[in-house]
């Protein structure tokens, strides 16, 4: 792990150095970080930029790709749910000339795509990428017959809480209807924590959700994905959960929908 970290650091620092030396920029986060300054004109150091890039690689990329992988794994196993998502797209989304979906930012952030929201929530329930998280006790307290001393480190496990059968009946089943607005509001506090909870909820939650919604919407509008007959999912647990040996899939072009078709009235 230390060797891998050194190799990744070398890659990042070389890119930072090359961009500083040449002035090369692009439409990317690294360019924004290199040019960012505060009100006094102070810029970020190489170490600070490295830390931001590293955080985005794992918190903003690895978790997203994991969630997308598990989502399409389940959609391939549940074609009726995939059809509901496509029907929702056909009803609500505008199409580009090539037939791909062209959702607006408002549609992706407002919850208007209700089928997509439920599928996303159920994917994060069954496969929370950040499946364990650290906290520290502010003061001593009793929990389940145990005394937890003040300032002790305590880990919560969203994988465990998301699979409690008394909260989520038949927890291994993929059921997006668990997350209708009414059902979601009725969940016990702390039962569903894919991004942690309390004041330490993941700062990138909205960013990650928007990434998944965008990627899922564009893929669904263009392709149908199916699993090889002999594929069996195995899960890797560190650092985030993901398909252990990748996710091989057959990719089929989706029949085009008329780009001029107007979405149905809300």
pLDDT classification of 257: cutoffs 50, 70, 90 = low
Residue 223: strand, helix, or coil: strand
Between 58 and 19, name the one with better pLDDT: 19
Owning domain of residue 165:
2-17+46-253
| Average pLDDT along the chain | 91
Specify the pTM: 0.82
Mean pLDDT of 5-17: 96
Instruction: Specify if 259 maps to a domain.
Output: no
Residue 56 within a domain: yes
Give a yes or no: residue 237 inside a domain.
Answer: yes
pLDDT at 256: 60
What integer is the mean pLDDT of 147-159? Answer: 94
Is the residue at 57 inside a domain?
Answer: yes
CA angle 240, 244, 246 (to 5 degrees): 105
In a domain, residue 236? The reply is yes
- Asked whether 234 and 69 are in contact (CB, 8 A), the reply is no
pLDDT digits (tens, 9 = 90+) for 14-41: 999 999 999 999 999 999 999 999 999 9
> Does a structural domain hold residue 25?
no
Going by pLDDT thresholds of 50, 70 and 90, the confidence category of residue 163 is very high
* Per-residue pLDDT tens over the stretch 192-219: 999 988 888 888 899 899 999 999 999 9
When pLDDT is averaged across residues 148-165 and rounded to a whole number, the result is 94
CA separation for the pair 102, 74 (Å, rounded): 24
Q: How many domains does the chain have?
A: 1
Residue 149 lies in a domain: yes
* pLDDT the model gives residue 264: 42
Q: Is 63 part of any domain?
A: yes
CATH number of the domain where residue 223 is located: 1.10.630.10
Q: What pLDDT score does 265 carry?
A: 40
């Amino acid at each position: 792990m230390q060797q891998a970290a050194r190799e990744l650091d070398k890659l990042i620092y070389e890119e930072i150095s090359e961009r500083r030396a040449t002035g090369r920029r692009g439409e990317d986060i690294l360019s924004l970080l290199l040019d960012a300054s505060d009100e006094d004109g102070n810029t970020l150091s190489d170490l600070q930029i490295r830390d931001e890039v590293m955080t985005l690689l794992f918190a903003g990329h690895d978790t997203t790709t994991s969630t997308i992988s598990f989502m399409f794994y389940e959609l391939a196993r549940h074609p009726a749910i995939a059809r509901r998502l496509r029907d929702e797209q056909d009803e609500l989304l505008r199409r580009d000339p090539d037939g791909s979906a062209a959702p607006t930012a408002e549609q992706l952030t407002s919850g208007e795509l209700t089928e997509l929201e439920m599928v996303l929530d159920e994917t994060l329930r069954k496969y929370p990428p950040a499946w364990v998280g650290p906290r520290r006790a502010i003061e001593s307290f009793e929990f389940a017959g145990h005394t937890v001393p003040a300032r002790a480190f305590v880990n919560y496990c969203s994988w465990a809480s998301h699979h409690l059968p008394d909260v989520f009946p038949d927890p291994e089943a993929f059921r997006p209807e668990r997350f209708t607005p009414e059902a979601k509001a009725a969940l016990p506090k702390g039962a569903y924590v894919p991004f942690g909870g309390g004041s330490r909820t993941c700062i990138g939650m909205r960013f990650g959700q928007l990434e998944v919604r965008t990627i899922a919407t564009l893929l669904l509008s263009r392709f149908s994905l199916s699993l090889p007959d002999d594929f069996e999912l195995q899960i890797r647990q560190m650092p985030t959960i993901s398909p252990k040996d990748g996710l091989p899939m057959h990719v089929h072009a989706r029949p085009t929908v008329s780009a001029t078709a107007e979405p149905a009235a809300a």
